[in-house]
Each structure stands twice: as structure tokens, then as C-alpha cells.
Amino acid sequence: MVAMVSGFFAIFAEVLLPGLAVLCQDWRILQAVVTVPLLLLLSYWCCASVFPESPRWLWSTAQIHQAKRSFLEFSTRNGVCPQEQMFPSESLLSEMDSVHGEDCRPCYHSVLELRRTRIIWKNCLILSFALFIGTGIQYCFTRNLHSYSTNFYFSYFIRIITGALAAVFLCITVNHFGRRGILLLSAIITGLSSLLLLALTQYLQGGLVLVLSMVGLLFSQALAQLSVFFACEVMPTVVRGGCLGLVLSSGCVGMAASSLMELQNNSGYFLHHVIFATFAVLSVLSIMLLPESKRKPLPDSLTEGENQRRPPLYVSRPDRDNLPLLHTRHPLSEYNPENYSFLVSATRKMLSKDTLPYRISVPSHPPLLEDETQGMNES
């Protein structure tokens, strides 16, 4: 949720940026106005009471005393008195002590430990690749908008509007269809739009080129935003900050590639378009290796992050969970017409033979039951 809210704030900041540029009238003043608010981030270290540490991270790194203090502080700020609850705070705090013990030492982790992992490193690499494509391929779509209007603000506000629509699209669909499915859909539509514009731009009408550019721009921004949101859920708590920094740095590299095209006056644009269109197709194959995080708890330790597995590509029926490796023949029913006919023909052949191991004897007088029945009828 925090990642999506920060995305909306980023879109709102881009809406305000042209107004600030008009008011400042100079890029140096604009740079100063944009940079000065970043000094407020120093309050993270200066005012620890205003921005407390995450209890989840403190608990995951075995900082028990700090986790207790942060937990009680959050409870006080939210107006919750732990002593008035059904389970008093002493039971929860004692449970925290019983899990880790009193003599446990804090266990810190760094991004360098990803070298000894397999699943976490793969997920981080795939999401970084997806964000790199989502930010770098946007220039391939915005360049086609220049043929309709040479005004800078036209393509700028089109990009902002599609970014807002992409955020709304993710809020509506991600929780219902899953993170991996929507990320895969965004990558497919982005790749198809890029390939169609690359191969058929000179054969398509102007309106169709505009539609493909706006659709590609919409889903490329959805791909970039969902990659960041997905990374916040898939990465373990102990290394979530470092992994998210790696993913965001790849997005900055993609935006830098677009800026280089602008500085070189679009020289090499065709090669740029071919490379990112190819990467978009490759990202479709790599995204299918990601796990699904919908309605699943966030991983805290590296072990929990390594235990994440991707779901099956196709949903299997509930009655076919355990399929055999080899095809087994179904058991025959009790009644088989062919077997019954074979049994009848074999029996007839045996009875027609004279040399039998036994001979069926015919009684010389009728059974007693028949005599008794005839006597009763005569009487």
C-alpha cells in the first residue's frame, strides 16, 4: 500500500512541476526549489520519535528490546491500550522473549548476502529487468507523439495522464487477478505495441499510431509501477530496503537511456527501439518465473524468501492434484461382454466333448420334492 501511495504522490509531483517551472522562470531556481525539500529527509535521523523504526524489521533482525519499544510506541499513537485488550501486552512481550531468548544478538543482513541465495536473487534480477524495460521503452512511445504536436507539454501531460490511469488500473485489477498475472499482461501488451510500431509505423494510419503509442505508454508505466510494488512484497524484510534500492536503480538506468536519446537528437533511435522491444519479449518469459504474493504473508527472513515458489502456469482440477508419471489403464468393470462371450463359447466346447474328466449324471428317479408336489395335487 505504501508503494502505491508513493506512486500517486510521484504523479502529483509531476503535475505540479510545470507550474513551478513557469513560476521560477530559470532552471537554476527550479533546481533549488526541487532540491531544498529533500533536506527534510534528514529528520529521519534527527527526529527518531517522529519517524520510528519498523517493528517488523526490528523483530526480523532479532532486536528484541527496540522492537518492544517501537511496538508500545505505535500502540500509544494509535490510541490502543494493550492492558485493556483480551490478551495483555505482557503475554505478547513474553512471547517475543520466549521465541528469541534473552541472550540473542541482533543479526543484520546486507545485499551482498544475495550471492548465496537462489530464489531471492532471481526475483530481484527479474523485477529489476522489468522496471528497466518499463522506464526505458517509454521514450519509444512518446517520440511518436511529437508528430501530432511539437509542444513539449503535450507529450508531457499525456505521459502523466497515462501514468495516473496505470496506477488506477493496478489498484482495480492487481488484488483480483494477482500481481504476476497483471505484470505479465502489461509486459505482453507493451512488447506487442512496441513491435507493431517498430514494423508497421509507415504502413499504419496516424490515428492507429497514436492509439498504439498511448496504449504502449499506459502499460509500460503499469509495468514499471507494478515492478516496484511487487518487489516490496516479494523481497524479505531483512533485505527489503537494499533489494528495493537495486530495483529502483535499474529504473533510473532506463530513464537515463531515454535522456541520452534526447541529447543525441534521436540518433540511434531505431537501435534503441529494437533493443527495448526485444527486451520486452524476453521479460514475458522471465516474469513467469516469479512467485505470486497475493494474499500471502510477507517473507521476513532469507529462508522464507527462498521458500517462495512460482504457481503452476495452468490451474489444475481439484480431483487431479496427484497425477501419475505414467499412464495407467483403468481397471476393468466386473461385467465385460467380450469376456462373457469367451466364457460361454469355452463352456460349450467343453460340454460337447466326450472325453471329459467328469460326466454329469442324470438321476434315475425324479426328486422327492416333485413326488410330494404331485401327491398333494392328486389329493
Mean per-residue pLDDT of the chain = 78
Mean per-residue pLDDT, 264-271: 75
Q: What distance in Å separates the CA atoms of residue 288 and residue 126, rounded to the nearest whole number?
A: 10
| pLDDT at position 174 over 60 | yes
Please, which pLDDT band fits residue 364 given cuts at 50, 70 and 90?
Answer: low
CA 26, chain centre distance (Å) = 43
> Radius of gyration of the chain from Cα atoms?
36
Q: What distance in Å separates the CA atoms of residue 262 and residue 175, rounded to the nearest whole number?
A: 37
Q: What distance in Å separates the CA atoms of residue 304 and residue 123, rounded to the nearest whole number?
A: 13
First and final C-alpha spacing in the chain: 102
The pLDDT of residue 321: 46
| pLDDT at position 128 over 90 | yes
pLDDT digits (tens, 9 = 90+) for 205-222: 777 888 888 999 999 999
The pLDDT of residue 266: 67
Write out the three cell numbers for 176: 483480483
Highest mean pLDDT among 78-92, 122-136, 249-263: 122-136
The pLDDT of residue 146: 76
Neighbours of 342 (CB within 10 A): 11
Q: What distance in Å separates the CA atoms of residue 232 and residue 32, rounded to the nearest whole number?
A: 31
Owner of C-alpha cell 516496484: 228
| pLDDT at position 275 over 70 | yes
